[in-house]
């Protein structure tokens, strides 16, 4: 199962994951990062700012998890814009090396296959950052997504549209479709790091980490991965049955073992 690390707060989580990413880039300057949007990964990107300042990060490559379909990439809430604003610009990455699925309607028929080809051509994702939706989705793989799925178009649930309405003027502006890396795509990344903070994520985290493997809870797919790390604060960890064991395991972790 995944390694669960319970930290004091989101900043501590950001520092921990940023350190892992810096180590990865130290060993491989053109490392391939799997980038997530949403509010959850922001502490990681924030922590990376100071840690990567002054370094040559131009070789770093990246693939975002998902994008809305039919939203102008220039729209401030397209994931292309979000990744540019939150990750590419503050960290000084090369925008040409940072990919986001293409949600344009004109090319949507082959956009999923194109994205899979691009990930494969890059040699796969080294470290995939993940958040989790309140309904257990990762990327935009809504409940019912196949564990073998590849990048493709999905229909957003009303719950997700409501959750994301805060970024738009009204819920009517939230697109109904998205293009997302599949669960099978995500599972091919070499290291998964799922973050979650706050009570609102506690049930989804418990279901993903300790619940049955089920397409109804897409996050449970991480249990199939040989190297998955779940970094949560106390509130998001509050429904984990084995929380004490995770704390004990982490406190007694050998120094030579990273996350």
- Annotated active-site residue 137? The verdict is yes
The residue within the footprint of ligand GLP, chosen from 131, 136, 184, 219 (CB under 6 A), is 131
**34 touches ligand GLP (CB under 6 A):** no
**CA distances, 234 to each of 82, 239, 255 (Å):** 28, 10, 23
Beta bridge partners of 99: 63
66 near ligand GLP (CB under 6 A): yes
Judge contact between 240 and 199, C-beta under 8 A.
no
Q: Say how far apart CA 150 and CA 118 lie, in whole Å.
A: 13
User: Are the CB atoms for 20 and 227 separated by under 8 Å?
Assistant: no
Q: Does 132 bind ligand GLP (CB under 6 A)?
A: yes
Stretch that binds ligand GLP, among 18-26, 112-120, 125-133, 141-149 (CB under 6 A): 125-133
One of 137, 191, 207, 225 is an active-site residue; which one? Answer: 137
Q: Establish how many alpha carbons lie within 13 A of residue 138's alpha carbon, considering only the half-sphere containing its beta carbon.
A: 34
65 binds ligand GLP (CB under 6 A): yes
3-state secondary structure of 258: coil
- Catalytic site includes residue 225: no
220 binds ligand GLP per the rule CB under 6 A: no
Q: Can 135 be counted among the known catalytic residues?
A: yes
Binding residues for ligand GLP, rule: CB under 6 A, are: 36-40, 65-66, 131-133, 139-140, 160, 164
The residues that are catalytic are: 66, 135, 137, 142
């Amino acid at each position: 199962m995944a390694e669960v690390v319970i930290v004091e707060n989101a900043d501590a989580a950001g520092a921990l994951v940023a350190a892992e990413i810096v180590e990865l880039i130290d060993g491989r300057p053109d490392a391939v990062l799997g980038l997530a949007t949403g509010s959850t990964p922001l502490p990681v990107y924030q922590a990376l700012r100071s840690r990567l300042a002054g370094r040559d990060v131009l070789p770093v490559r990246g693939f975002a998890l998902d994008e809305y379909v039919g939203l102008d990439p220039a729209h401030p809430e397209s994931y292309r814009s979000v990744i540019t604003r939150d990750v590419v610009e503050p960290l000084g990455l090369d925008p040409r090396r940072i990919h986001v699925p293409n949600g344009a309607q004109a090319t949507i028929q082959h956009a999923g296959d194109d994205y899979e080809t691009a990930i494969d051509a890059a040699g796969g994702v080294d470290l995939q950052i993940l958040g989790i939706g309140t309904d257990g989705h990762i990327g935009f793989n809504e409940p019912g997504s196949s564990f073998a799925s590849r990048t493709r178009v999905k229909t957003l649930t009303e719950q997700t549209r409501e959750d994301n309405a805060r970024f738009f003027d009204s819920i009517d502006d939230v697109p109904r479709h998205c293009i997302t890396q599949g669960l099978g795509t995500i599972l091919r990344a070499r290291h998964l790091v799922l973050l979650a903070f706050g009570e609102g994520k506690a049930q989804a985290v418990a279901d993903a980490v300790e619940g049955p493997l089920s397409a109804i809870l897409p996050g449970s797919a991480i249990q199939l991965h040989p190297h998955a790390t779940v970094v949560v604060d106390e509130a998001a960890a509050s429904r984990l049955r084995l929380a004490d064991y995770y704390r004990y395991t982490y406190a007694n972790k050998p120094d030579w073992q990273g996350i």
